[in-house]
Amino acid sequence: KQEVTQIPAALSVPEGENLVLNCSFTDSAIYNLQWFRQDPGKGLTSLLLIQSSQREQTSGRLNASLDKSSGRSTLYIAASQPGDSATYLCAVSPGNTDKLIFGTGTRLQVFP
């Protein structure tokens, strides 16, 4: 059974810091991995999608990497801003299904 874990559960950093959020999954047979952002009281916004054949994806100040063999992904946020404050969720698509299995998220606070 696929399980997704995110560490740390919460993170508070000053503005301008570079930071790394971690995601691990127990079964390496995945189709893709996605990172989402969730603001309080809101739905989820897709940030980056990495196919199983890819190693990383970049969008602006965000960079996500994938190491399938070790069951790990990282989301790197450069030069963090207060507007980055949100919960970040990692989700994997198991290789034999279409559904997404989510981690419990990392709650990020960036203070001025």
* 20-79 residues near another protein, rule: CB under 8 A: 31-32, 34, 36, 41-46, 49
Least separation, in Å, of the C-beta of 105 and another protein?
6
Least separation, in Å, of the C-beta of 89 and another protein?
6
What dihedral do alpha carbons 42, 46, 47, 51 form, nearest 10°? 160
Q: Which residues pair with 109 in a beta bridge?
A: 12
26-56 b/e with 16+ CB inside 10 Å = b? eeeebebbbbbbeeeeeebeebbbbeeeeee
For tokens 């897709």, name the residue. Answer: 46
Residue 99 is a binding residue for another protein (CB under 8 A): yes
How many residues bind to another protein according to rule CB under 8 A?
Answer: 24
Distances (CA, A) of 72 to 12, 17, 22, 32, 90: 22, 22, 7, 12, 11
Judged by CB, which is closer to another protein: 76, or 102? 102
Least separation, in Å, of the C-beta of 79 and another protein?
25
Residue 11 is a binding residue for another protein (CB under 8 A): no
Instruction: Return residues touching another protein (CB under 8 A).
Output: 4, 31-32, 34, 36, 41-46, 49, 89, 91, 93, 97-105
